Amino acid sequence: MLEVRNIESGYGRTKVLHGVSFSVSDGALVAVLGGNGSGKSTTLKTLAGLVRPSAGEITLAGQRIDQVPACRMASSGLVLVPQGKEVFAAMSVEENILMGGYHRRREKARLRDDLQQVYALFPRLALRRKALAGLLSGGERQMLAIGRALLARPRMLLLDEPSSALAPKVVGEIAEVIRGLRGRGISILLVEQNVAMALELADELHILREGRVAHSCVNGPGVDLASLQEFYLGKGTR
Ligand SMILES: Nc1ncnc2c1ncn2[C@@H]1O[C@H](COP(=O)(O)OP(=O)(O)OP(=O)(O)O)[C@@H](O)[C@H]1O
Ligand SMILES: [Mg+2]
């Protein structure tokens, strides 16, 4: 279980998150929605240790992780797939995937198995294993970024807008992969602006507005785009 309690965080003197709280149960898929600049990426960066919270607590399986340096976070089981499909452009697809398992580099046989699993999940990456990552399409780069994260064997995967700037068919493929990962027992925190995708995949939804959780709900009948709209637009309150 990931628990986020009242985190405040930002950049220098600029505070972006003003007391954000939510949790992700083991094996659950929780979505965080919100408009541009609402603090979604800052939330994920804070969880991943890239931005230090100035207040609040973050625990994973009961252990505090808010002081763990970003470079050790993967060993704690929490892995971020950053926004923007960032990959190492000058390295091959396979080298990029293997970078995700760098902290496990002594487990050579298991890494080879995990690499094959990534290729089974994303056959297109297998076809392009020797290609430079910088030459991949947007969809392929998103698959690569997810594949690289899987080499760390995460128990908690943070996905920052995996559907952005992708064709609907590719969004569908990515959604299927996310559903499959969740089926394998990986807990997922999905940040999205694609509300339809979040409604299709998530157990729970939280809407961020100006660095605060404006609304939280369990996904189910009656929860739809229209019912969430007011919280986006600022009319609703928690
Ligand atoms: N590195 C940074 N330095 C200073 N301010 C930043 C930095 N990154 C983000 N911000 C500011 O923090 C606020 C929240 O940004 P954040 O990236 O968390 O939003 P977001 O919800 O992820 O938006 P988007 O949907 O556009 O990705 C914005 O006002 C942004 O300008
Ligand atoms: Mg963002």
* Residue 39, ligand 1, Cβ within 6 A: yes
Tell me how far the alpha carbon of residue 39 lies from the centroid of ligand 1, in angstroms: 6
Stated pTM of the model:
0.94
Q: Are 145 and 166 in contact (CB under 8 A)?
A: no
- Domain 2-233 is found in CATH 3.40.640.10: no
* Residue 40, ligand 1, Cβ within 6 A: yes
Residue 164: both structure tokens together = 């952005």
> Where exactly are the structural domains of the chain?
2-233
Element (H, E) at 24: strand 14-24
Instruction: Give, for all 238 residues of the chain, the pLDDT tens digit.
Output: 999 999 999 999 999 999 999 999 999 999 999 999 999 999 999 999 999 999 999 999 999 999 999 988 988 999 999 998 889 999 999 999 999 998 888 888 999 999 999 999 999 999 999 999 999 999 999 999 999 999 999 999 999 999 998 999 999 999 999 999 999 999 999 999 999 999 999 999 999 999 999 999 999 888 888 778 777 766 554 4
Tell me how far the alpha carbon of residue 107 lies from the centroid of ligand 2, in angstroms: 34
Other C-beta atoms lying within 10 Å of the C-beta of residue 232:
20
Distance separating alpha carbons of residues 176 and 54, to the nearest angstrom: 37
